[in-house]
Amino acid sequence: MSTELQDSATVVAANSDWFTSAVVYQVYPRSFSDSDGDGVGDIRGIIERLDYLHTLGVDVVWLSPVYVSPQNDNGYDISDYRDIDPLFGSLADLDELIAQLHARGMKLIMDLVVNHTSHEHPWFLESRSSLTNPKRDWYWWRAPENGAEPNNWGAAFSGPAWTLDETTGEYYLHLFSPQQPDLNWENPEVRAAVYEMMNWWLDRGVDGFRMDVINYISKDPALPDGRVWGSNRYGDGSAFYISGPRIHEYLQEMHREVFSPRAGALLTVGEMPGVTVDDARLFTDAARDELTMVFQFEHVGLDHDGSKWRPKALDLVDLKQSLGRWQEGLAERGWNSLYWSNHDQPRVVSRFGDDGAYRELSAKMLAGILHTHRGTPFIYQGEELGMTNMAFSTIDEYRDIEAINYFREATDLLGLPEHETLASLAQHNRDNARTPMQWSGYPGAGFTTGEPWIAINPNSARINAAEQVGRDDSVFEFYRRLIALRHSEPIIARGDFRMLLPDDPRVYAFTRSWGEQELLVLGNFGAEPVEPDVDPAWASAALLLGNYPDHTALALRPWELKVLTQTRAM
Ligand code: GLC
């Protein structure tokens, strides 16, 4: 090979794993920035904030759904995949967003919700219109079984996973709400229509997709009854749709039809509840041509008992065991995504940190631990400010279909007292993460000049971007440094990972290594000082990053983070 060819091959190789040193920022548009005062965030609002994202240093923006939607599940119920909901703006606004991001060297990935559509999507309207409509088979229709639902599956947002449609006397399947009928991916026309739509978006300039519950698209066509856990009313059908029989075939087909001509430049991340490490390795092994990475759910399932409405305290040993296993499992082949938060999860500082006296320290420690793992980190809007959970006191303050349906089911059908139901909602409800972005301490938090669609956290007077940008010891400036480190230090992007102290209930500890360089990362998950039991030789290592202004060898103060670096003699 000539030197010239070698050089260009190296460049392509370097480019095709650009995502290893990238950081993604999730915008939940409804709650990010409202430019027109209607109380709901919009695309123009995002455009106005791009300099903020550029200052933070993120490489990719993941935009939660802005497509036309009846908004039963805040846009995760789409009725037109090729237009923007007027609530958020227009296609012209989106084109401008893409152009303005690209002008700043950032990429845009769109949310792709194709396990289901809205019940108002023209495909479903046609499908439901008669037994013989050409689109009948685009969804999962079944005749009643003994006058009732075709199987015992429950839906994610309460009630059965089937709704009877009077027009034809058959039931349709919906794993989420009745307003979100599941598409039948067995039908090649469905797949072709989805691929065509995805290509349309890529041609428009988007740089990839975050793919909603993508490991649910292949179902066992026999749709057998699911196991009934404990005193649950419905069966759990997940064994028959999580990473189902044809999932790899579908994703490889999608790769061929959509990703392959531009694969190296794209970022694709599949949201995959219930995915195992072994499956994730298959999904993300570059040689298999499926996805760049997946969102797994194990570590966000450790602080509740089966149901998210039965919270329990996190055991740090479990967290290390879980994340450590994922690091190991995807070390040789595949790639991890790294996340604490998103629009479905509680705010991490309230969840795994201390959102009282140690809010800033613990928010930085959590960020430091996550971002120094091997994988691509995702930041959820407001996490970079250490935004906290919201304390809602009545059900009327909630907006999320999941919380509202659960409250109704628990109080009306199961007869649980309201205060108990509200208490069980508090920790893990999704509206915790969906209160508006806190830009300033003024009324409306700089988010809106109107009446916000959901209450603004009263702590916005204290916790806001205006107060933090440029304050050297703020959570925001800490995230900035962390992102810059990933960009500049190959050891953070690519280095090998080794977990230390797996049984220590208070200290999170691991090393990274790359050539002669080694990092030791230490995090104290509590307010008690602690002496970590690591090789004392590290005491003389240099501090690459910490969350205290000074450095005191190896002892860890409350919620302290240390990233130490040393060069080994080879
Ligand atoms: C995903 C989304 C969530 C949505 C659900 C149904 O889990 O992240 O917000 O409610 O899918 O589309």
Burial of 429 (0-12, 13-18, 19+ CB in 10 A): buried
- Best residue among 344, 402, 430, 431 to mutate for probing ligand 1's pocket (most ligand atoms within 8 Å of CB) is 344
Instruction: From 81, 116, 175, 176, give the residue whose CB has the most ligand 1 atoms within 8 Å, as the site to mutate.
Output: 176
DSSP H or E run through 104: none
Residue tagged 């993460």 (tokens): 433
Is residue 367 within 8 A of residue 478, CB to CB? The reply is yes
Which ligand 1 atom sits nearest the alpha carbon of residue 113?
Answer: 12
Residues of the chain with pLDDT under 50: 1-14
Looking up tokens 């407001």, which residue turns up?
A: 382
Q: Which amino acid is at 384?
A: E
Other CB atoms within a 10 A radius of the CB of residue 374 amount to 21
Cα 496 → chain centroid: 24
Mutate to test the pocket of ligand 1, among 31, 213, 404 (most ligand atoms within 8 A of CB): 213
> Could you give the residue ranges of the DSSP H alpha helices within 104-187?
122-129
- Specify the pLDDT at position 552: 85
Ligand 1: residues whose CB is within 6 Å?
A: 73, 76, 113, 176, 212-213, 271, 343-344
The CA R_g of the chain, rounded to the nearest whole Å, is 24
**Which protein residue has the closest C-alpha to ligand 1 atom 1?**
212
Q: 126 C-alpha vs ligand 1 centroid, how far in Å?
A: 24
Distance 382 CA to ligand 1 centre (A): 20
**Cβ atoms within 10 Å, residue 200:** 12
- Could you tell me if 388 and 459 are in contact, meaning their C-beta atoms sit under 8 angstroms apart? yes
For 168-174, the CB contacts below 8 A with 24+ separation are 168/128, 168/130, 168/131, 168/141, 169/143, 169/144, 170/131, 170/141, 170/142, 170/143, 170/144, 171/141, 171/142, 171/143, 171/144, 172/128, 172/139, 172/140, 172/141, 173/139, 173/140, 173/142, 173/223, 174/116
Structure confidence at residue 13 (pLDDT): 40
Contact of 38 with 84, CB cutoff 8 Å: no
Give this prediction's pTM: 0.97
Burial of 206 (0-12, 13-18, 19+ CB in 10 A): buried
Give how far Cα 502 sits from Cα of 353, 378, 533, Å. Answer: 19, 25, 11
Which residue CA neighbors atom 9 of ligand 1 most closely? 344
Q: Return the residue whose CA atom lies nearest to atom 2 of ligand 1.
A: 212
Phi and psi of 555, rounded to 5°? -65, 145
Q: What is the pLDDT of residue 553?
A: 86
Ligand 1 atom nearest the C-alpha of 273 is 7
Q: What angle do CA 416, 418, 419 make, to 5 degrees?
A: 110
Instruction: Report how far ligand 1's centroid is from the alpha carbon of 271 (Å).
Output: 9
Amino acid at 183: L
Which domains does the chain show, CATH number per domain?
A: 3-117+188-390+437-483 (3.20.20.80), 122-173 (3.90.400.10), 391-426 (no CATH), 495-567 (2.60.40.1180)
DSSP 464: -
**Which two tokens mark 312?**
């329990």
Task: Give me ligand 1 centre to Cα 228, in Å.
Answer: 23
* 152: Cα within 13 Å, side-chain hemisphere: 11
Atom of ligand 1 minimally distant from the CA of 402: 10
| Contacts (Cβ under 8 Å, ≥6 apart) of 405 | 157, 158, 159, 177
- Position 510 scores a pLDDT of 98
Closest of 525, 541, 538 to residue 368, by C-alpha: 525
CA–centroid distance for 158 within its chain: 22
pLDDT reported for residue 134:
98
User: How many A from CA of 441 to the centre of ligand 1?
Assistant: 31
Query: Residue 265: what residue type?
Result: A
Q: Considering only CA atoms, which residue is closest to atom 4 of ligand 1?
A: 76
Nearest Cα neighbor of 363 from 145, 371, 6, 536 is 371
* Residues with a known catalytic role: 212, 271
Dist. CA 269 → ligand 1 center (Å)? 14
How far away, in angstroms, is 213 Cα from ligand 1 center?
Answer: 7
> What pLDDT does residue 1 have?
35
Closest by Cα among 67, 24, 9, 7 to 43: 67
Looking at residue 568, its pLDDT comes to 85
The Cα 499–Cα 515 span in angstroms is 18
Q: Nearest residue CA, atom 12 of ligand 1?
A: 76
> What is the reported pLDDT for 570?
57
Which atom of ligand 1 has the smallest separation from the CA of 344?
A: 9
Rounded Cα distance between 218 and 147, Å, is 27
